[in-house]
Structure 1
Amino acid sequence: MVARQLDEQIVGRFPVGKRLRVLDVGMGQGTQALRLARAGHQVTGLEQDATMVAVARESLAGEPEGIRKRMRIIEGDGRDTGVHFLPGSFDVVLCHGVLMYVEEPDPLLAGLARMLAPGGLLSLLVRNGDALAIRPGLSGDWSGALAAFDTVSYLPHSRTDSNGGTPIRPGLDVRADRLKDLTSTLAGIGAPLHAWYGVRVFTDTAADGAKAPADVETLLAVEEKAGRTDPYRGVAALLHLCGVRG
C-alpha cells in the first residue's frame, strides 16, 4: 500500500524515467530500498540495528550486479545524516516506521529535510496519534481504549511496521504523531505537506499472523480507497505523509 502511494508521488513529482537519489532512513531489512534499486534508482539505506543491516546485506548480495551497484548500506543513526551526507544530496528521503521510536522527532525531521534537493520528496510513515483508541476499542479492551484518548505518549505496540514487514523491535514502547502537528512541523522545516494517506484503516484489528483472505485483491482495493477518502483515512492506524522541499 505504502509502496503504491510512494510510486504515485514519485511519478507526480519527477520526469518519467528519471533516476532518483534515494535515502531510506531506518530501512529495516531493506525491502523498500531494494524495490527502488530494482526500479533503477540510486539508493542509500541507513539503519542502526546491526541485525537488520546483516539481513539487508544478505538480500542485496543475492541481487544482480547492476542492482548491487545501485544500492549501498550504511550502519548508522538517522539523526546523524549530517555526518554521512551533504545537504541537498537526495531527491527522495524515506522515513518509514522510525518516528515512533524517537522521543523528540523535530530535530530528526529537520535534518532529513536538509538532505533534500529543491523539489525533493520527504516520505513519512507514522503511527496515527488521533486514532489510538480504535484498535483496543474494537477488540473490547475498554480500559486500553480509555487510556488511549488524548495521548500520543509511549504505548505498547506488537504488530509489524510497514517497511517491508519488519517486526517492531521487541521490548520497546512506541509513540505516535498527530497529523496537525506534523503538518506544522513540515511547513516549518521547508518541506510542506503535499499529500497524505491512511494506512490500515480496516485491517489493523486483524489478529497478528491471521491468514490472508481468499479475496485479498478486493481487501487491498478497499484499504487503498479508504486510505484516500475522508473520514476513513483519519482513523487509520498509520499515516503516510509526503512533504515537498521548496
Structure 2
Amino acid sequence: MTRQLDEQIAGRFPVGQRLRVLDVGMGQGTQALRLARAGHKVTGVEQDSAMVAAARDALAAEPEGIRGRVRIVEGDGRETGVHFLPGSFDVVLCHGVLMYVEEPDALLAGLARMLAPGGLLSLLVRNADALAMRPGLAGDWAGAMGAFDSTVYRNRIGLEARADRLDAVSASLAGIAAPLHAWYGVRVFTDGAADDAVPPPEAELTALLAAEERAGRTDPYRRVAALLHVCGVRD
C-alpha cells in the first residue's frame, strides 16, 4: 500500500512539494514517520494512549529535522474540526479506522473538510465483498456461508468490526465532494498469513510483494482482497 500511496501523491502534486499531511488513526506512527522522512509536515491523530506513547518513542529516535516535521495529537479522529481549520491539509490518511466506526459518514465528511482543493483522501477499509474468503480458504464453511451477506466480522484479536463495499464507499466520497479517484486491493494472496509469521528469504519476499502489487491493481483479483485502499480527490 505504501507504493500505491506514493504513486497517488506523485500524480497529484509537483515533485519536491512539501505537503501538509493529516494521519487520522496514526497508530505507532509508521506511515507518519515515513512521510516526514520524505520531507512532508505530518500531523498524527490517535486516541489510544499506548499507541501515542509508542509513536512518541519512535519519533524521539529520529533526527531533529524529522522530529520538527511531526506533530502528535491525542484525540478522536471524529473531532478534527476541533483541532484544525478547514482546508488545512493537502493529504489526509485514514487507514484501518473506518472498520471500527459504526456510522462512518460523519467521520468521512469531517476528513474531507480538512482537505484543501485538489487534496487527496486515502482510506484503507475492510472489503465487505470478500468477507467469505478468509473462512472459506481456512475450511470454515459455516463461517463462509455466514459472511456472504454480512458487513460485520470478528478480527484476529477478537473485536467485532464493520466492513465496507466499494460501491458504498464510492457513493460516500461523491457525497462529501471528494469523489473516487483510484482504488486498489490489499492482501490478496497474504490475508491467511499469521500475524507473527517469519518473513521469507529476501528473494521470495520480493516476488511475493510483486505478486501482491500486481494483483492489487488487476481485476478480478483486487475485488477479493481483504482490504481496499480507496483514494478520493477533493473538488
Which TM-score band applies after superposition, normalised by the shorter structure?
over 0.9
In 1, the alpha carbon distance for the partners of 2:155 and 2:18 equals 36
Asked whether 1:223 is paired with 2:224, we answer: no
**Alignment deviations for residues 202-240 of structure 1 (CA, whole Å, 9 cap, x no partner):** 110123322222311000000000000000000000000
- Aligned match of 2:192: 205
In 2, the alpha carbon distance for the partners of 1:103 and 1:53 equals 23
In 1, the alpha carbon distance for the partners of 2:18 and 2:82 equals 24
Code of the aligned partner of 2:231 = C
Alignment: residue pair count: 233
- 1:157 corresponds, among 155, 158, 174, to 155
- 1:243 corresponds, among 224, 232, 235, to 232
Q: How does 1:28-67 map to 2 (within 5 A)?
A: 28-67=27-66
SS in 2 for 1:103: coil
In 2, the alpha carbon distance for the partners of 1:157 and 1:34 equals 26
In 2, the alpha carbon distance for the partners of 1:54 and 1:8 equals 30
Q: How does 1:185-200 map to 2 (within 5 A)?
A: 185-200=172-187
**Alignment deviations for residues 98-146 of structure 1 (CA, whole Å, 9 cap, x no partner):** 0010000000000000000000000000000000000100110011101
**Alignment deviations for residues 47-102 of structure 1 (CA, whole Å, 9 cap, x no partner):** 00000000000110111111111000000000000000000000000000000100
Q: 1:18, CA displacement in angstroms?
A: 0.2
Q: 1:174, CA displacement in angstroms?
A: 1.1
SS in 1 for 2:43: strand
Asked whether 1:111 is paired with 2:98, we answer: no
Q: Report percent identity of matched pairs.
A: 77
SS in 2 for 1:147: helix
- Aligned match of 1:166: none
In 2, the alpha carbon distance for the partners of 1:133 and 1:40 equals 41
- RMSD, aligned CA: 0.8
Q: 1:171, CA displacement in angstroms?
A: 4.9
Code of the aligned partner of 2:154 = P
Code of the aligned partner of 2:213 = E
SS in 2 for 1:174: strand
SS in 2 for 1:92: strand
Q: How does 1:165-184 map to 2 (within 5 A)?
A: 170-184=157-171
In 2, the alpha carbon distance for the partners of 1:77 and 1:181 equals 24
Asked whether 1:131 is paired with 2:130, we answer: yes
Distance 1:104 1:198, change over 3 A: same
In 2, the alpha carbon distance for the partners of 1:171 and 1:232 equals 27
Greater CA deviation, 136-145 or 212-221? 212-221
SS in 1 for 2:155: coil
* TM-score, structure 1 as length reference: 0.93
In 1, the alpha carbon distance for the partners of 2:51 and 2:197 equals 24
Code of the aligned partner of 1:178 = R
Code of the aligned partner of 1:156 = R
Q: 1:150, CA displacement in angstroms?
A: 1.0
* TM-score, structure 2 as length reference: 0.98
Structure 1, unmatched stretches of 5+, are: 159-169
In 2, the alpha carbon distance for the partners of 1:201 and 1:134 equals 10
